């Protein structure tokens, strides 16, 4: 009891005694950004929710009616959409995993001192800086093209890379662009390792592989997770590469959700269905994002404790 009585007043009480005017003064700098974000991103989403309950094809003006969850039923039973969902998972996972592996290898290479390290790092981040649509066009026409593309030009053969291996062609382009991103995150992770501890392990007789497996990889785990999750957030939205390299084809081999929703909106003009598909994408993203937030806040704790 005495313990409770002598405990100093907790901080939140102090916060509450602050006058409401002062609280608003504190909030004032935050409000413009907050209001802007709510108006431009949240209100449209509420409208999307509403539109998803409407049977509305823009080609039949005037015929708009409440259809309840029909659009969701249509969308979820539609084989095209299921294919798009699968393709999204495959393209995103493929691009994230391969760019993470390559990024890790390159980060390890760059973590050593050698002549011209700064230049090599600049070279390696360059693919990430090329405009995505320009990169997609470049790969499609200058690299994959069966007659004058670079691959067939250097190694012979007349393979039409895009139509023979559409998914791999899209993934390779994405991997090329996103490996630098992964490399930078993992390099930051490697460089935050304590050199004394590693030196101590080496003195104790640990070989390079043991150090890598037992010390570096556990240390990098959070950075790998962060790279995977941020990469997924960006790559789930992949539109440029699909639009340019394959147009979602052949058939629906590379149609991912963003591209499918785009087609539903601007080719079929099924606004209701497109909205329902959009809502489903948001729900899926929220699931992924929940994990992402957990990892990111974990990483912030690590940074704060250092």
Partner 1 sequence: MNRRLIDSVWGVVAWVAGIVFVFPVIWMVLTSFKQENAAASNPPSWVFEPTFDQYALVFERNMTPFLLNSLTASLMSTLLVVLLATPAAYALSLRPVEKWSDSLFFFISTKMMPAVAAFLPVYLLVKHAGMLDNVWTMVILYTSMNLPLAVWMMRSFLLEVPREVLEAGEVDGAGLITSIRKIILPIVSPGLAATALICFIFAWNEFFLALNLTATNASTAPIFLVGFISSEGAFLARLCAAATIVSLPVLIAGWLAQNKLVRGLSMGAVK
Q: Which of residues 20-49 bind partner 1 (CB under 8 A)?
A: 23, 26-30, 32-34, 36-37, 40-45, 47-48
Q: Nearest-5° angle of CA 106, CA 109, CA 111?
A: 110
Per-residue binding letters, 168-197, with partner 1 (x by CB under 8 A)? --------x--xxx--xx-xxx--x-----
Residue 246 or 275: the one with the smaller Cβ distance to partner 1 is 275
Interaction between residue 240 and partner 1 (CB under 8 A): yes
Interaction between residue 143 and partner 1 (CB under 8 A): yes
How far is 22 from 33, CA to CA, in rounded Å? 19
Are the C-beta atoms of residues 219 and 193 closer than 8 Å to each other? yes
Interaction between residue 300 and partner 1 (CB under 8 A): yes
How far is 297 from 237, CA to CA, in rounded Å? 23
Among 93, 97, 138, 206, binds partner 1 (CB under 8 A): 138
Among 6, 11, 14, 15, binds partner 1 (CB under 8 A): 15
Residue 3 or 303: the one with the smaller Cβ distance to partner 1 is 303
- From residue 97, alpha-carbon distances to 48, 92, 127, 150 in Å are 32, 8, 18, 25
Least distance from partner 1 to the Cβ atom of residue 1, Å: 31
- Pick out residues in 256-275 that bind partner 1 (CB under 8 A): 257-258, 261-262, 265-266, 271, 274-275
Instruction: Measure CA 236 to chain center.
Output: 6
Segment lying near partner 1 (by CB under 8 A), choices 3-11, 19-27, 77-85, 163-171: 19-27
Cα–Cα nearest to 64, from 277, 265, 261, 271: 271
Greatest CA separation for the chain: 87
Interaction between residue 101 and partner 1 (CB under 8 A): no
Least distance from partner 1 to the Cβ atom of residue 184, Å: 4
Interaction between residue 122 and partner 1 (CB under 8 A): yes
Per-residue binding letters, 43-82, with partner 1 (x by CB under 8 A)? xxx-xx--x-------------------------------
Are the C-beta atoms of residues 138 and 126 closer than 8 Å to each other? no
Q: Report the run of H or E that residue 124 belongs to, with start and end.
A: helix 117-129
- How many binding residues for partner 1 (CB under 8 A)? 104
How far is 252 from 260, CA to CA, in rounded Å? 9
Among 69, 73, 101, 150, binds partner 1 (CB under 8 A): 150
Q: E strands within the chain?
A: 54-56, 64-66
Interaction between residue 123 and partner 1 (CB under 8 A): yes
Interaction between residue 130 and partner 1 (CB under 8 A): yes
How far is 69 from 55, CA to CA, in rounded Å? 10
At which residue do the structure tokens 């080609």 appear?
A: 59
Least distance from partner 1 to the Cβ atom of residue 4, Å: 25
Sign of the torsion angle spanned by Cα atoms 209, 100, 182, 174: positive
Interaction between residue 132 and partner 1 (CB under 8 A): yes
Segment lying near partner 1 (by CB under 8 A), choices 62-70, 90-98, 108-116, 163-171: 108-116
Sequence length of the chain is 306
How far is 166 from 159, CA to CA, in rounded Å? 12
Segment lying near partner 1 (by CB under 8 A), choices 90-98, 106-114, 197-205, 209-217: 106-114
């Amino acid at each position: 009891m005495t313990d409770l009585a002598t405990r100093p007043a907790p901080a939140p009480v102090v916060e509450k005694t602050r006058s409401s005017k002062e609280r608003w003064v504190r909030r004032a700098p935050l409000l413009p950004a907050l209001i802007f974000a709510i108006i431009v991103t949240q209100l449209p989403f509420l409208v999307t929710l509403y539109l998803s309950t409407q049977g509305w094809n823009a080609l039949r003006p005037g015929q708009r009616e409440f259809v309840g969850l029909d659009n969701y039923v249509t969308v979820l039973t539609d084989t095209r959409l299921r294919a798009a969902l699968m393709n999204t998972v495959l393209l995103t996972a493929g691009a994230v995993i391969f760019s993470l592996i390559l990024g890790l290898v390159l980060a390890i290479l760059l973590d050593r001192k050698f002549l011209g390290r700064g230049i090599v790092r600049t070279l390696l981040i360059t693919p990430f800086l090329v405009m995505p649509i320009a990169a997609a066009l470049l790969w499609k026409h200058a690299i994959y093209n069966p007659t004058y593309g670079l691959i067939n030009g250097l190694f012979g053969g007349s393979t039409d890379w895009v139509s023979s291996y559409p998914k791999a062609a899209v993934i390779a382009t994405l991997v090329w662009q996103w490996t630098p991103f992964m490399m930078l995150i993992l390099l930051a992770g490697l460089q935050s390792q304590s050199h004394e501890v590693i030196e101590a392990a080496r003195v104790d007789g640990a070989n390079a592989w043991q150090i890598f497996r037992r010390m570096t990889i556990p240390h990098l785990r959070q950075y790998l997770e962060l790279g995977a999750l941020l990469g997924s957030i960006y790559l789930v939205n992949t539109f440029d590469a699909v639009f340019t390299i394959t147009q979602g084809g052949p058939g629906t081999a590379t149609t991912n959700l963003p591209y499918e929703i785009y087609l539903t909106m601007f080719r079929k003009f099924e606004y209701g269905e497109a909205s329902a598909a959009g809502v489903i994408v948001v729900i899926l993203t929220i699931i992924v994002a929940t994990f992402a937030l957990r990892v990111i806040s974990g990483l912030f704790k690590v940074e704060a404790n250092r």
